[in-house]
Structure 1
Amino acid sequence: MTVTQSVSGTVADAIEEDIRARHLPAGCRIGTKTELLQQFNVAPATLNEALRILRERRIVIVKPGPKGGIFVADQPPLARLALEIVDLKSQRKIDVNNAVEVLDGLDTQVMHDAVRCRTDQDVADLNAMREPLISQWHTPASEELNWQLHRRIADITPNLMLRSFYQNLVDYILAEGSDPTLGVNGFVPDSDDRLKIHLALIDVIADRADDRVDAVLHDHRMVKA
C-alpha cells in the first residue's frame, strides 16, 4: 500500500510540474487516462489515485465521455499566485533584492497593524529581543536576529495574507544566504545607526506611536526615495 501511494504521489507531482512548466491554461486538455497510463507506465489504480490527489489540489478536472479526458482546472486566484511564485523561484527569476523591495512596500502596513493591534505579550516578546540585538549586533548572528525581529513584528498583524506573504519573503531571504548589504553601496547592515533604527521599531510599537511609523520606516529603508 505504501509503495502504491508513493508512486501515485510521484505521478501527481509530475503532472502538476508539467502543467506549471508549460504554463498550460485552465481548460487545456492534458490527455486521456489511456494516454497517461502509457506515458507513466503505471497501473490504472495508481493513476486513479494520482488524479484524485490532483483533484483535491484543484489542479485538474476529469471529464467523462467521448470528448472527455483530463483537463487543467480553473484554479482560485490564490492558488494560481502560489504556483506562479513557485515557478518564478524555480526559474531563478526572483532574487533577494526583489524580495527586499516587496518587503519595503509591505513594511508600512505591517508596522501600522503592529502599533494598532499589539498586545502586552507582543511588547514583552519584542522587548526580550532587545538584549540579543544589542549584544550580538556586530557579530555574524546580527542578520538572523534582524529578520527574527521582523518576523515577530509581522506576527502581530491580523491580516493573514499579509503575514504569510511577509514571513515567507523573510524565510526566502534567509534561505538564499544573501549578502547582507544586498549590493547597496555604502550600506553597513550592522552599523550603530541600523541598530538604533531596529530598536526604534520596537519603541514605536510599544508606545503605540502610529505617528512615528512613517519616519522610522524612512530611516529603515536602505535606499531612500
Structure 2
Amino acid sequence: MDPVAGLARSSRAQAVAAAIEHEIETRNLEHGYKLGTKTDLRDRFDVGIGTINEALRLLVSHGAVDLRPGAQGGVFVASPAPFVRLGRKMLELSKDSVSVADCLMVRNALDPLVISQATQHRSADDIEALRRIADEMSQDSLSSMDFLRINWRLHLRILEIVPSPVVRHMYGSLMDFVQQRVLHVNEDVADRAHSRVVHRDLVEAIASGDQKLAAKAVSAHQNLLEGGNFPGGQERYG
C-alpha cells in the first residue's frame, strides 16, 4: 500500500519530503542530480499539485533541493550550506540529548524575530495565504491533531516570509523535529477557541506592518504557549 495514501495533505507532504530526503541520503546523490520535474514527482508519489508543492517547500527549507525553472529545469539535489549541515547534525543527536521541550524553548525564543521580520517583509500574497490558513483553523470539524497541523502550517508559512536563510533553517528544523515526535494532543474547546483568536491576531498584526502590534501579538502567542495540556512537557505546541 502507498505509505502516503489516506493521510491529510500536510502529512502526505511531510511523507513525500521525507522519502525524497531518504533517497538523497541513502543513494548518496550528488549536488546537481536531477530528481525529476514536479509532474514526475507527482506521478511517482501519486499526489496532487498542492501536496507536491508543500513537500518541495519543506525540502527547499531543509536545503535538500533546488528548484530550477525553464525547459531544462526541475527539482535538483542541492549542496547544503554549512549552517544547514550544522542544523542537521543538531537533530541527529540521540533522543536523550534533544527533547521536544528543548526544541520548543529555542523555537519560542526565535518567535519574536520571525514575526518581526515577517511583519517587515510580508507581501499581499503572503497576507492572503496566512489569512487562508487562519480560516482553515476555524473549522469545527477538525480533529485535535489536524488543528495542530494547520497551526504548524501557519507558522511555517510565516517563516517563508523571513529573508534570513539561517533563521529559516534553524526554526524550520526545530519545527520538523517537534512535528515528527508529537503523537497525540489533549485539548479542550476553550483551548482551541483561544488559540484561534491568538493566531488570527498574529496574522492581522503581520498584515498591518505595525511592529508594535506585532510585538503585542507575539506576547499573546507566547502566553498561549505557557502551561497547557500537550504531551511531552509543560509547553504547548502552537
Partner of 1:96: 100
- TM-score, normalised to structure 2, is 0.54
Query: Is 1:136–1:142's contact at 8 Å kept on the other side of the alignment?
Result: no
CA RMSD of aligned residues (A): 2.9
Equivalent pairs: percent with the same residue? 23
How far has the Cα of 1:101 moved from its partner? Answer: 0.7
| Correspondence 1:220 to 2:221 | yes
| Correspondence 1:143 to 2:148 | yes
Query: Is 1:142–1:190's contact at 8 Å kept on the other side of the alignment?
Result: no
SS state of the match for residue 106, structure 1?
helix
How far has the Cα of 1:128 moved from its partner? Answer: 1.2
Range that drifts further, 208-217 or 102-111: 208-217
- Give the letter for the 2:104 counterpart: V
1:104–1:180 Cα change, 3 Å: farther
Which 4+ stretches in 1 moved above 2 angstroms? 76-84, 136-140, 178-181, 186-191
- Give the letter for the 1:129 counterpart: I
Query: Is 1:137–1:195's contact at 8 Å kept on the other side of the alignment?
Result: no
Partner of 2:198: 197
Q: Equivalences for 1:148-163 in 2 at 5 Å?
A: 148-163=153-168
Q: Equivalences for 1:106-121 in 2 at 5 Å?
A: 106-121=110-125
- TM-score, normalised to structure 1, is 0.57
Query: Is 1:138–1:191's contact at 8 Å kept on the other side of the alignment?
Result: no
Q: Which has the larger radius of gyration?
A: 1
Alpha-carbon distance in 1 for matches of 2:99, 2:133: 28
Q: Equivalences for 1:17-166 in 2 at 5 Å?
A: 78=83, 81-82=86-87, 84-88=89-93, 90-136=94-140, 139-140=143-144, 141-166=146-171
1:207–1:127 Cα change, 3 Å: same
Cα deviation code 1:80-103 (max 9, x no counterpart)? 734641442x35311111111111
Cα deviation code 1:86-124 (max 9, x no counterpart)? 442x35311111111111111011000000000111011
1:169–1:187 Cα change, 3 Å: farther
How far has the Cα of 1:131 moved from its partner? Answer: 2.0
Structure 1: 5+ residue runs without aligned partners? 1-8, 13-75
- The counterpart of 1:171, out of the listed 157, 173, 176, is 176
- Give the letter for the 1:158 counterpart: P
Structure 2: 5+ residue runs without aligned partners? 1-24, 29-80, 228-238
Paired residue total: 147
Query: Is 1:180–1:189's contact at 8 Å kept on the other side of the alignment?
Result: no
1:208–1:81 Cα change, 3 Å: same
How far has the Cα of 1:77 moved from its partner? Answer: 6.7
Cα deviation code 1:121-153 (max 9, x no counterpart)? 101111111221111486321000000000000
SS state of the match for residue 202, structure 1?
helix
How far has the Cα of 1:79 moved from its partner? Answer: 6.9
